[in-house]
Structure formats: structure tokens, C-alpha cells
Amino acid sequence: MSRNLPERKNPAYRIDASDIFAVIKTKQALETLLKLQYRPQKQQLIILCIGTDRSTGDALGPLVGTRLKGLRPVNTDIFGTLEEPVHAVNLSETIEKITETYSSPFIIAVDACLGRQESVGCIDIGLGPTRPGAGVNKDLPPVGQIHIDGIVNVGGFLEHFVLQNTRLSLVMRLAEIITRGLFLTLQNLHSSSTQSEAIRM
């Protein structure tokens, strides 16, 4: 498992997947956070989707990566798909590859986590890194300038078993919302950057 981080106590944004406006709220949250830190002219945007297809609960990241890659967002590179997952075994290697390939990467990290019963089905979005493996005592590097955490099940007991027995329907719904929210954000971001370049010329 790449991740089993207990939910954050005070996420910047918490979005319920059952909210009919969940995609729009995801987009708005990401746009607000990107305006605070991301510099399109100086930084390469990376979407790093962490997880494995060998566990239902932990497949959230690779599902987002696969769906987003299929949409071909402009000026964005994506790591972590169902075909080529980024998980505990190769996370450090992937981060090293990113830092060697890009002079100034800006990483949005997507991952699954466990939380309280009332938080299951929510998406937490905020500034700062995600911390893969924190809940199962794995020494993995924190990663990301922005984190997107999908709370897929209840934590606190037999976490590996819980992840394995997470409802696929919930994971798919969370993945769909995150993917669409990210794609709309990236479309708008590219459009704004293109307009800014045209004004400067």
C-alpha cells in the first residue's frame, strides 16, 4: 500500500462527493490554491497520482492518473496510472526522476486516505505535501506543493484489510470528481496563461 494517512484535522477545503457541485467546488479550491503558489511561466505542473491497482481503496490515485492522462491536459505531465502506478516501492525513484527532469516542478499529489466514518466520501484539498505511508509506519518522502486526499474508508483498525475491502463504487466516484475538477482547472489555467502571453506580446 502506498498510503494510509489519517485524515487531516483542518483541511483547507473539504468537499463531499455526494454534493452535486463537488466538481465545481474542487475546481474552485484548486484554482484558489494555485494562485497562491504556482507560477506558470517558471514552473512545470506535475500531477503525481499515488497508489496501486492491487488494492481497491488504494487505486484512487492510479484511476485519476489514467483518466486524466486520457483527457490530454495541455502543459501538464502526469505520473501514476493503472498501467504504471507510483507506489511505496517506486515513489522515491519517481520523485528523483521528476526533480532530475524538471528544473522547477510544481507537484499536485493525489492519494487515498482513511478517516472517520462521517468523513468517508470526502475530498480534502490544501497546500503542502501528502505523506504517503504515514499511517502504516512506512518511511516514505512527503511530496507535493498541493495535496488532494480522497477519504475512501474508515481508519483505526486493520487498515490494510479495510483498504482491500473498500467499495469500488466510492473510489470510482471520488476519482471522477477529482479528475473532472483537475481537468477543468488545467483548462482554465492554460487559457489564462495563453491570454497573459498574448497581452505581453
DSSP string, 152-180: EEE-SS-HHHHHHT--HHHHHHHHHHHHH
Q: Nine-digit cell at 63?
A: 484511476
On the question of pLDDT at 199 being above 70, the answer is no
Residue 47 domain flag: yes
For 107-165, write each residue's pLDDT tens digit: 999 999 888 889 999 999 999 998 876 555 566 788 999 999 999 988 766 677 777 77
The whole-angstrom separation of Cα 127 and Cα 197 is 27
Per the structure, the count of domains in the chain is 1
Residue 2 domain flag: no
The whole-angstrom separation of Cα 80 and Cα 65 is 6
Give the single-character DSSP code of 50: B
Measured CA distances, 151 to 60, 69, 97 (Å):
10, 22, 28
Residue 201 domain flag: no
Residue 3 domain flag: no
- Provide the domain limits for residue 106: 13-184
Question: Strand pairing partners for 122?
Answer: 16
Residue 86 domain flag: yes
The whole-angstrom separation of Cα 49 and Cα 35 is 21
Residue where the block lists cell 495541455:
74
> What is the domain-level CATH number for residue 24?
3.40.50.1450
Residue 1 domain flag: no
Residue 69 domain flag: yes
The answer to whether 33 and 125 have CB atoms below 8 angstroms apart is yes
> What residue spans of the chain are helical by DSSP H?
22-37, 60-71, 91-101, 159-164, 168-200
For 32-77, write each residue's pLDDT tens digit: 999 999 998 899 999 999 999 998 989 999 999 999 999 999 999 9
Residue 150 domain flag: yes
What confidence score (pLDDT) does residue 191 get? 72
Q: Is the pTM of this model over 0.85?
A: yes
- Asked whether the CA dihedral 27, 47, 113, 146 is positive or negative, the reply is negative
Q: What are phi and psi of 100, to 5 degrees?
A: -80, -30
